[in-house]
A = this chain, B = another copy of it.
Amino acid sequence: MIEDPFLRKLERAVQLSEDERYALQSLTFNRRTLPARHDIATGDVTDRVYLVMSGFACRYKTLPSGNRRIVSFVLPGDLCYMHDAGAFGRDLRVGALTPCSVVDLSRSKLVELIGLHPGISRAIWWVTLRELSRAREWIVNDTRPADRRLAHLLCELLVCLQVIQQADEHGFEFPVTQVDVADALGISHVHINRVLQSLRSSGLVAWSSQHVTIPDVDGLRAYAEFDPAYLCFEGFGP
């Protein structure tokens, strides 16, 4: 049940034993489907952890002005609210950008598994550290001009979606609105449209009818100054 994107992604970094894989699979608590624009989680403390199985979601905060800033995307196989619930995430929410299929897990049971299985512990560490590394890269990305910023985001999405087999060599389905991407980049929805058109006219990106195509991945990466090392899909040291 849990199987598909979650374990596949974990095992990209950490080899799990048969036991560990089984233990994780038996955690499933409840499965549900959320419509777009609905919150998966708010800042409340619960014993629930959420595993997104399909669809695009995001972690975000809302400013007093009403502006929303997305601080990270949540893709299939990503765990939410493991650590960002409660004290750390009072104002952090997780929202569905497209219809999402979500599995609820018991946090306390997962914590227990972490204590029992070194492989699971390593895997959860890896997930957390990747989030940290990614957040820092987003901070850096915020210093780039908007066109490179968008290019960088698309490069990141391409890699992350390839890992879960939701992207091919040159593109991916991306049923997310320009407004959402604007909030992830911290720019206005008008500006992202202009910036996108400039990338289109340079031939670096094609994005229409919910499909992104990147004809020249190396070219876009160079333009975005994108180096996938920070995502650390290539293994996890100590």
Binding site for B on A (CB under 8 A): 45, 59, 61, 63-64, 67, 69, 71-72, 83-84, 86-92, 107-108, 111, 125, 128-133, 135-136, 138-140, 142-144, 186, 225, 227, 229-230, 232, 234-238
Contact = CB atoms under 8 A, between A and B. Distances in A.
Copies in the complex: 2
B130 A132 contact: no
Contacts of A91: 227, 229-230
A71 B139 CA distance: 6
A235 B87 contact: yes
B140 A89 contact: no
18 contacts: A45-B237, A63-B225, A67-B143, A69-B140, A69-B143, A71-B139, A84-B133, A87-B229, A87-B232, A88-B132, A89-B133, A90-B229, A91-B227, A111-B238, A135-B135, A135-B136, A138-B139, A139-B186
A43 B133 CA distance: 13
B63 A143 contact: yes
Given A45-B237, A225-B64, A88 B139 contact: no
A92 B64 CA distance: 32
Contact of A133 (B88, B111, B230): B88
B144 A63 contact: yes
A126 to B, nearest CB: 9
B130 A88 contact: yes
Contacts of A225: 63-64
